Amino acid sequence: MSIRSSFSVLWWNPFLGKNSYIEGRICKYSTAAANEEPIKAPLSVTDTQLLINGQFQDAVSGKTFPTLDPRTGDVIAHVAEGDAEDINRAVSAARKAFDEGPWPKMTAYERSRIIFRFADLVEKHANEIAALETWDSGKPYEQSANIEVPMFVRVFRYYAGWADKVHGLTIPADGSLHVQTLHEPIGVAGQIIPWNFPLLMYAWKVGPALACGNTVVLKTAEQTPLSALYVSRLFHEAGLPPGVLNVVSGFGPTAGSALCSHMDVDKLAFTGSTDTGKVVLELAARSNLKPVTLELGGKSPFIVCEDADVDKAVELAHFALFFNQGQCCCAGSRTYVHERVYDEFVEKAKARAMKRSVGDPFKEGIEQGPQVDSDQFEKILKYIRSGIESGATLEAGGERFGTKGYYIKPTVFSNVKEDMLIAKDEIFGPVQTILKFKDLDDVVRRANATRYGLAAGVFTQNLDTANTLTRALRAGTVWINCYDTFDAAIPFGGYKMSGHGREKGVYSLRNYLQVKAVVTQLKNPAWL
């Protein structure tokens, strides 16, 4: 059975408009401008302090740390370095705001109005926010402005709409009883966000937590603290009461550990590596056994079947891996290609990678900016060397791009085997590994032979093949003839060691609510 007509669109982001299909986005630019002077960022940094109890303030220690421009390694700003004492202050403010403040006692409609006003303010300041996100993280400005800031707004509006629709049930029970359930906010939520999508991860966590009536202590990634501080100021301009949202910039072993271990934090949410997720879970268990949701690493398979339109499959697989400089937890980082089309696919994937535009992310038309920092840069180059040494064929890239900043050439390996590190480990960079498979049983077995289970992609024109793989692949999301297609309503999360729980959609609300059963004895009820 053919499903060509059902799945002819490769990828569409609703924030880029109806003509934004990636099959029409073949790169027109070269990598000739490797060493041009960086474009001056079109804004100045104003928010560098911790946000505690509605006020920007220095860390108790007075310490700061530099956040760097990935294009050059130069300092953008010095940001307050929070530690355990600052976490204590932030948690105390959040606890007081929850126990005594107006936020959980407001009507849900009033809370939703504040969240809607915040979304409007973000939209008003969209250009500055997008520029700040690009400056701090290195992602292309066009990506920040056209995809991530609009998605941020959409997620908050989605959860603003949910605020007054959270309710329990009335339950029939045996006997003369009236039974109801209450869905109550869980209390103080500790949240830790990563550096690869600072704005979106802020939205995915803060949005549902506040919509349910909780208060929040958010720890930003030390590599990318700026956008969270900026938008949190706008949240207070929208009318958010003091103490409801507290933001602490700092490092994992100090601020992050203190937040996870805090006895007055009622719930944790973490996005980051699987190894760090284990530490978060352990600290939560050793303290007050607080519940934890985890969105962790991935090594997602992208499967190109023998009936695929190879040109379209190449473009989609390229996008699935190289989007956001490859720094995406659900990147399609194991490209499995059927043996009948393997050689053609490899040649075209190589050509596409060599045409990818790399350069200053503020420059129009740039697809790939620098990696986030020197640690990530060196880690990726180490994996590339490992791939070469283990016998994979380097088809493209394989080295740094230019002489300044943390740029890496789009890299493609063919003849990759499962026992190679580049096929097993999460590289988190612009390195595509292409593996050959024979049939569906073969690819399912190999695709599932990983500790991860975050996402998977399937490219086929056959409905039966799509249905078989959808159910066989052990992953939290399976994209059929599309990839990285996100929506505020679509849940996201992993199987196995890719995490616990789901973010986005109605499923995320469950992370921030407790269910209370209320049972009342009835006297001489008229009916049961």
DSSP string, 429-452: SSEEEEEEE-SHHHHHHHHT-SS-
Q: What are the pLDDT digits (tens) for 40-64? A: 999 999 999 999 999 999 999 999 9
Q: Are 324 and 410 in contact, with CB atoms under 8 Å apart?
A: no
Residue 17 scores a pLDDT above 50: no
- How many other CB atoms are there within 10 angstroms of residue 285's CB atom? 12
SS3 521: strand
* Tokens 């009318």, located at residue: 239
Per-residue H/E/C for 97-149: HHHCCCCCCCCHHHHHHHHHHHHHHHHHCHHHHHHHHHHHHCCCHHHHHHHHH
Lateral strand order in the sheet of 188-192: 55-57, 50-52, 245-249, 215-220, 188-192, 267-271, 292-295, 499-500
503 part of the active site: no
pLDDT computed for residue 33 by the predictor: 52
Q: What are the pLDDT digits (tens) for 70-107? A: 999 999 999 999 999 999 999 999 999 999 999 999 99
50-296+502-514 CATH pick, 3.10.180.10, 3.40.605.10, 3.20.20.70, 3.40.50.10140: 3.40.605.10
Q: Which two tokens stand for residue 347?
A: 């040649």
CB-side neighbour CA atoms (13 Å) of 339? 6
Residue 9 scores a pLDDT above 60: no
Q: Do domains 50-296+502-514 and 300-362+370-483 have the same CATH topology?
A: no
Burial zone of 439 (CB within 10 Å; 0-12 exposed, 13-18 middle, 19+ buried): exposed
Q: Give me the percent of the chain exceeding a pLDDT of 90.
A: 92
Q: What are the pLDDT digits (tens) for 233-290? A: 999 999 999 999 999 999 999 999 999 999 999 999 999 999 999 999 999 999 999 9
Q: What are phi and psi of 379, to 5 degrees?
A: -60, -45
- For Cα atoms 277, 280, 286, give the angle at the middle one, nearest 5 degrees: 140
d(CA 230, CA 461): 45
The CATH code belonging to domain 300-362+370-483 is 3.40.309.10
SS3 467: helix
Residue 159 scores a pLDDT above 90: yes
Residue 15 scores a pLDDT above 80: no
Domain ranges of the chain: 50-296+502-514, 300-362+370-483
Q: Which two tokens stand for residue 472?
A: 């066989």
Q: What are the pLDDT digits (tens) for 350-361? A: 999 999 999 999
Choose, from 81, 295, 315, 503, the residue flagged as catalytic. Answer: 295
- For Cα atoms 107, 113, 119, give the angle at the middle one, nearest 5 degrees: 145
Using pLDDT thresholds of 50, 70 and 90, give the confidence band for residue 26: very low
